[in-house]
Amino acid sequence: MEIQLGGTQQSSPASLIFAGIVILVLGSIWPLIESGDILDEIEAQSWETVDATVAYLEIDTYEYQCGDAESGDQTCTSYEVTYDLRYTVDGETYRLYDTEEVSYFQSRVWEVDYPTNSTREIAYDSQDPNNVDIDPGQFAEYLPALLVGLGCTLLASLFFIGAIKEILNPTQPVNPEEKSDIPYSDLPVHFETKKNVWGEIHYGHPSVEAVAQKMKLYACTDAQIRECFATCKTQSEQANNIVQFDRELLEVMEEVIEDHSSEASNDFVGAAKKGAIGTAAMAIILLVVSLVVVVPMFRTYGAMPWYGWVLSLSTLGFSGLAILLGRMTFEISKFLDQGLGEVVLETVNEFIDEFEEHESV
């Protein structure tokens, strides 16, 4: 995947590395805040377990005024759970009695999972049986922070990969004495293609790729770009071909592009396609997570925690955005063509015909 931070030129390795570090640092803040609780939960996985009896459970609700001057008077509800858990370790009975302020979802968890006189498996520290985990193996509440950290790590890695590729295979600078923006390359001009992670076709030769990107900048469609260079490739692969495809042809194509009356569109359709693919992929990931985590919770407790709402609303949001971007891409591509693709293709055919006529004389 090629990363550009702006403009038509490839971003420098330093800027790519800096952007990757910034994303990685920002994405690590939330997971680091939760890391202490996550490590405690992981440590509790090695503890011994015992059945605890719920000797007492009471859930109280309190209403209070929570509005302000702008929203007006509003009534909010807080929930408080009081519980008494008793368990026996090595013949000694321990008691865990406490009162906690909880959310509505947590109150439902206590009501469903810890009714009075029920038994519940808890984990305890063998070195100190008073230290317990009443809900061992519960990592769901840390899932959003871990997803943010993972997503930012993957995004940062793309920037780092882009920087490494640019270091190993740097873009050749353009000769400042010439008007052409096409980078130089010692490779013979060829028209082999490859696809990036977005499914877009790119050309293996840097000079050919530069012309293709300039065509795309001026609203040429992918089909028109493929047709132009497919014509060149087909001609070059013919057994009796005498046409020399070199930098001269690319500079002629560049001149035609710049002299055409088209206005730069900055490849809005291409950007919208990438956005649609990216948001659709994110929507699918969030949907899978929601089906695995949120749906079972709602079916069991008839409520969702805050991260359940975040996952559900994010799934709907990304799905809607993917549909919107896809629709925008479809509609805009109808009238974005400014006729440049046909002109460039005609120029390529004229170049081939003139070269063959010149060589036959």
- Residue 56 to residues 43, 53, 86, 87, 326, Cα–Cα distance (Å): 28, 9, 10, 13, 56
- What would the 3-class secondary structure string for the chain be? CCCCCCCCCCCCHHHHHHHHHHHHHHHHHHHHHHHHHHHHHHHHCCCEEEEEEEEEEEEEEEEEECCECCCECCEEEEEEEEEEEEEEECCEEEEEEEEEEECHHHHHHHHHHCCCCCEEEEEEECCEEEEEECCCCCCHHHHHHHHHHHHHHHHHHHHHHHHHHHHHCCCCCCCCCCCCCCCCCCCCCCCCEEECCCCCEEECCHHHHHHHHHHHHCCCCHHHHHHHHHHHHHHHCCCCCCCCCCHHHHHHHHHHHHHCCCCCCCCHHHHHHHHHHHHHHHHHHHHHHHHHHHHHHHHHHCCCCHHHHHHHHHHHHHHHHHHHHHHHHHHHHHHCCCCHHHHHHHHHHHHHHHHHHHHHC
Report the pLDDT averaged over residues 276-305: 88
Which region among 76-80, 181-185, 293-297 has the lowest average model confidence (pLDDT)? 181-185
Q: Over the stretch 115-133, which tens digit does the pLDDT of each residue have?
A: 999 999 999 999 999 999 9
Kindly tell me if the per-residue pLDDT of 153 is higher than 80. Answer: yes
User: What pLDDT score was predicted for residue 8?
Assistant: 44
User: What pLDDT score was predicted for residue 228?
Assistant: 86
Report the pLDDT averaged over residues 74-99: 92
> How far apart (Å, rounded) are the C-alpha atoms in residues 11 and 171?
10
Kindly tell me if the per-residue pLDDT of 12 is higher than 70. Answer: yes
Report the pLDDT averaged over residues 166-182: 63
Average pLDDT over the chain, rounded to whole?
Answer: 82
Which residues are registered as beta bridge partners of 51? 121
User: What pLDDT score was predicted for residue 325?
Assistant: 82
Residue with tokens 């055409």: 260
Q: Over the stretch 204-215, which tens digit does the pLDDT of each residue have?
A: 888 888 888 888
User: What pLDDT score was predicted for residue 2?
Assistant: 44
> How far apart (Å, rounded) are the C-alpha atoms in residues 266 and 196?
19
Rounded percentage of the chain residues whose pLDDT exceeds 90 = 25
**Which has more confidence, 288 or 173?**
288
Task: Name the pLDDT band for 83 (thresholds 50, 70, 90).
Answer: very high
Rounded percentage of the chain residues whose pLDDT exceeds 70 = 84
Task: Name the pLDDT band for 7 (thresholds 50, 70, 90).
Answer: very low
> How far apart (Å, rounded) are the C-alpha atoms in residues 346 and 340?
10
Q: Over the stretch 249-273, which tens digit does the pLDDT of each residue have?
A: 888 888 888 777 555 555 566 667 7
CA dihedral (135, 137, 138, 143) in degrees, to 10, reads 170
Q: Over the stretch 32-74, which tens digit does the pLDDT of each residue have?
A: 998 888 888 888 889 999 999 999 999 999 988 887 767 667 8
Closest CA to 115 of 80, 138, 83: 83
Kindly tell me if the per-residue pLDDT of 114 is higher than 50. Answer: yes
Domain extents in the chain: 49-136, 172-265+337-360, 268-335
Report the pLDDT averaged over residues 237-242: 78
Kindly tell me if the per-residue pLDDT of 168 is higher than 50. Answer: yes
Task: Name the pLDDT band for 96 (thresholds 50, 70, 90).
Answer: very high
User: What pLDDT score was predicted for residue 115?
Assistant: 92
Q: Rounded to the nearest 5 degrees, what angle is found at the Cα of 196, between the Cα atoms of 195 and 201? A: 40
User: What pLDDT score was predicted for residue 93?
Assistant: 93
Do residues 152 and 32 make contact, with C-beta atoms less than 8 angstroms apart? no
User: What pLDDT score was predicted for residue 266?
Assistant: 52
